[in-house]
Structure 1
Amino acid sequence: MAWAPESEALRGCVAVVAGATRGAGRGIAAALGEVGATVICTGRSSVTGTGGSDYDRPETIEETAGLVTRLGGNGIAIQVDHLDSEQVRVLAERVRVEHGRIHVLVNDIWGAEVLKGTPATWNTPIWEHDLDDGLRILRLAIDTHLITSHHLLPLLIGEPGGLLVEVTDGTRDYNASRYRISAFYDLAKVAVNRLAFSQGHELKEHGATAVAITPGWLRSEMMLANFGVTEGNWRTAVAPGGIEGYPSAPEGFAASESPRYVGRGVAALAADPERARWNQCSLTSAQLAREYGFTDIDGSQPDSWADQ
């Protein structure tokens, strides 16, 4: 039977999830909603139809905010391009006026899933890689996080206890010994782990905590679409034959996780009064599940990093 979150654990907590439109960002926003938080959901994809992301996808920040509210929190959608410093400054000022402070900041901005290419294009050496695409990967993955922290962390450090979460792909140790897809992608994911470390150093004297978190094999909307399945029937992707007209998922997909799993890891950290013990750490959703006892939405505790 699936673990049930404590619905009032973060009532009164104000969180900003930057990059909440889909994937891990939506899962984190939803999990914070499960425990009663007010979640400001930011991103470029909005029902306004202007200033959208690099993806041709239907998800919007308004959908995420609505999900947060249905799950018991208070979801607020604010359209922001986190590469635009002025837009993020305006976001910070609005949050200050309307909420006074924030308790949790999640930097999950990405947007380079298409630019990283398909497996057939991975391992392209830097001298053959499209330079403009590579540099945009770095801007979307690193500059956005720096800009967001610069403007929003002042709202986190006014009182002790704040939590900054940097979302990446791969732990510090895993990435240190493995080449990740391309020089650009590799640098981006290593850098985000280091951002948690460096910001944790700066936040410690203010009584705040910074961590890097990586999900395992994530069943994002884009990943599910790739195999022609939904969250309701995703196991069909690893069955013999898979879904007609779509590639079959590799065997490892059986240990994949929903976006809510890493989200519950963030919620557990935010609710832990002793969270400072994790400052500057690089963590996985599965590691946090073992520590705090939560499960994915199907009651399991998957760990796709276990055999890596």
Structure 2
Amino acid sequence: MTDVPPPIAGLDPEALERALRELLDRLDLGFAVKEAGSLKYLHVNARLAGWLGSTPEAMRGTADAQWLEASQWPALRTAENAALAMTRGALTEHKLELAGTRREFDVARIALRGGDGAPAALLGLWIDRSAQRQVEAKLALALAQLEQQQQAAEALRRETQDHGARDALTGLFQKEHFEDQLRREVDLSSREHREFSLVAIELDPLPAEAQALGTPARTRVLEALGRLLRGNTRAMDASCRLDDSRFGVLLSGVGLATAHARMEGLRRQCATQMVVLEGRNLGFTVSMGVASFPHTAHTQEALVQAAEIALAEARKRGGNHVTLASIRFELP
């Protein structure tokens, strides 16, 4: 004998059935009960009958072969027979062409068994996923188009950039050029008594999904970061790739507060940037340390060190953070 769950205490079975039917209608779900041997409909609600272009009364006592094309109903019959053989039911997906429109459904089925343990009826609950699948398809198409645009933009940049002064992958200045620019900025600011800011940037560890895609994913992320750094710096500024995951930005004539505001905006852009590879949005974040000359340091070496210390603090806070270097206060 099979275990039969007891009725819910204190509830009228007929009232419970009416309530469940009303819930199914409110949730816009299709519902059917079929005879286990013939797989003919014993009951169909209006929603499912409407999808099949019929009415509950007309479908009662019929099989799917009467309402579906010969290429479609055998898949339903196979899934139903499989559900009848299972003790806990089954969930399957079905794609049907109904009234000239392609519809996609998730169908949960479970057998009702008699006293002898044999299946007596089959319950089916239909969920229309058509609208959801259409949204997913449009999103996948948009991601693919965005990926193609990113690839085209990077190809064009590589064709037109100055390979002698810039990194081939990111389009940013090489380390040597950046150091020359930094020395000139220190000299100019010392003579004219004006300030500028230096930002040390490090790419945070990529999400596990991006890491699983290997080198192509890291390349795509670095290309995106290069675009954002170039787009957020002026002609008089300088942005550089220092090594595999470290970057530097020199903001000419910009004080500490303004530099922090600009880099905070850049951090948000990085965190929300769509970087697409193989139809997946990779995502990435960066950590930044901001120092200024002469408020946080009076020499080039001390300025670089102050930015690095601030960057280390940003990483210590978990990444995806902008940290300011400490301002030096000298006693008279």
Task: State the TM-score, normalizing by the size of structure 2.
Answer: 0.23
Select the structure that is richer in strand: 2
Greater radius of gyration (CA): 2
The answer to which structure, 1 or 2, has the higher relative contact order (CA under 8 A, 6+ apart) is: 1
